[in-house]
């Protein structure tokens, strides 16, 4: 069997996959006003242990579910886990 027909077939398949992946009708546009989060400067030491029991965490702005959108495995839809983000520096 010749390698050339197999190679041509693989290139065609790859090209079709790339074209389908670029279909923007399957994607939704980014938000009109992107969410903004501000990091809070602190002087108190914190322990990176997964617990937000230091008082400085209460000063941090919270970004939560309404501020996020799902990208994988497909865009949109409900989240399996609740997520929130707080930034300190």
Tell if the pTM clears 0.85, that is, is over it.
no
Model pLDDT, residue 15: 72
Model pLDDT, residue 11: 80
Name the pLDDT band for 41 (thresholds 50, 70, 90). Answer: very high
Contacts of 87 by beta carbon, 8 Å cutoff, 6+ apart: 37, 38, 39, 40, 60, 61
* Extents of the domains making up the chain: 3-67
Mean pLDDT, rounded, for 10-20:
68
For residues 89 and 83, give the distance between their C-alpha atoms in angstroms, rounded to a whole number: 20
Instruction: Please give the full DSSP string across 20-86, using - where no structure is assigned.
Output: HHT-GGGS-PPPSS-----PBP--S----SS---SGGGGGS--B-GGG----SSSSSS--SS---B-
For 44-57, the pLDDT digits (tens) are 999 989 899 999 99
């Amino acid at each position: 069997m010749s390698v050339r027909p197999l190679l041509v077939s693989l290139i065609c398949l790859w090209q079709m996959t790339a074209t389908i992946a670029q279909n923007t009708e399957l994607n939704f546009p980014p938000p009109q006003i992107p969410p903004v989060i501000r990091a809070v400067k602190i002087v108190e030491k914190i322990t990176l242990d997964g617990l937000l029991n230091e008082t400085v965490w209460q000063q941090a702005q919270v970004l939560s579910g309404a501020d996020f959108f799902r990208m994988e495995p497909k865009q949109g839809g409900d989240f399996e886990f609740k997520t929130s983000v707080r930034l300190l520096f």
